[in-house]
Amino acid sequence: MVKSELPIVFSHADFYIFEKPAGLNFHSEGEKGFVVLAEQQTGEKLFAVHRLDKVTSGLIILSRNKEAAAKFTSLFTDHAINKFYLAISNAKPKKKQGWIKGDMAKSRRGMFKLLPTLQNPAITRFYSFSYKPGFRAYILKPYSGKTHQLRVALKSLGAPILGDTLYSGTAAERAYLHAYALSFLWHGEQINCSLLPTTGDEYQQLINHQEFQAWQSPWQLDW
C-alpha cells in the first residue's frame, strides 16, 4: 500500500532525500513509479542518481538540477556516498560479521548469483546480532553498487532476507531490506541522514531491542 505523499526526509537546494516505500517500482512500469510520483508531488523536474529495488524501502536521493546530478554520479562512481542498510533473516548465517566478496552473474528468473571469482566483485561488509531466537538483524554497507547485491550477499551466507521469496527467503508481509542511512560530503557540508523503517513488525521488534542502540549512527561504526 503506497501512501499518497512520499515523505521528504531531507531537503537541500540541490537535492531531496525521499523515503521510498517497499513495493513501489522505482521507474514507471504500467503504473507510476517513484520518480514520476516525486516529480508530481514537488512540481519539479528531478534527476535519478541511484535506485532501489521495488521490494526495498528507505532513503533515496533525487537531484533537483543537472549539475548536482552530474556531481552525484561522480560521487557514486567514486564510492564517496556511504550507504547503510538494515536487513532481517530467520536463517542461520555461515558467519556473523565480515566481508562478502565475489563477482556477480545473471542466474535465472531475473536472479543473480555470487561467483568465487574477484575480477569486478560486489563487495559488502556487515555486522549482525540476534534480536530474538531464530531471527538475526544485519547492518550492511555496500562498497559497490551491483543489482540485487545485498540480497545475493545474504543468500550466499545461507541467510536469505526474510520476505525476499525470489532469493528463497521465508514469505512475509514485506521483504526486510531497508535503505537506512546515507553519509556524504556535499560541497564541504557533511550530510548524515538516517530513517528507521516505518513498516514491518519484525523491524519494530528490532528497533526496540537494546543492542540496536549501537546502530543508531551507522556512519560511526568501524567499517
Residue 127 to residue 95: CA distance in whole angstroms:
10
Residue 65 to residue 184: CA distance in whole angstroms:
18
Given 53, 164, 201, 222, which residue is catalytic? 53
Q: Residue written as cell 543468500?
A: 155
CB contact burial 45-77 (16+ within 10 A = b; e otherwise) = ebbbbbbbbbbbbbbbbbbbeeebbebbeebbe
201 is a catalytic site residue: no
DSSP string computed for 40-83: HHHTS--EE-S---TT-EEEEEEESSHHHHHHHHHHHHTT-SEE
- Chain centroid to Cα 140, Å, comes to 9
Catalytic residue positions, numbered: 53
